[in-house]
Amino acid sequence: MTYDRLVCANCAAPVSQGRCPVCRANRERLQQQEGPFGGLNPLALIVLMVVLVAALALLAQQTA
């Protein structure tokens, strides 16, 4: 996501293109930093919130 706009200091090409070893190393490092949450973070957060609210609603119904 964020590394799309990064320009490599070694080959002056976008890091996302991976033209040189420095690019590829940076790309891998950045992708690992983003981790499994990198691509789906907003959607995952929304889903998590919906699940939490639903669980709370169910709990409230059962206890009330």
**Which residues are at the interface with Zn ion (CB under 5 A)?**
8, 10-11, 20, 22-23
Q: Which of 10, 31 has the CB closer to Zn ion? A: 10
Are residues 11 and 20 in contact, defined by beta-carbon separation less than 8 angstroms?
yes
Minimum distance, C-beta of residue 12 to Zn ion, in the bound complex (Å): 7
Phi-psi category of residue 6: left, alpha or beta, with phi > 0 → left and psi -120 to 50 → alpha:
beta
Q: How far is the CB of 20 from Zn ion (least distance, A)?
A: 4
Cβ distance to Zn ion smaller for residue 1 or 7:
7
User: Nearer to Zn ion by C-beta: 11 or 30?
Assistant: 11
Give me the amino acid identity at 40: L
CB 7 within 8 A of CB 13: yes
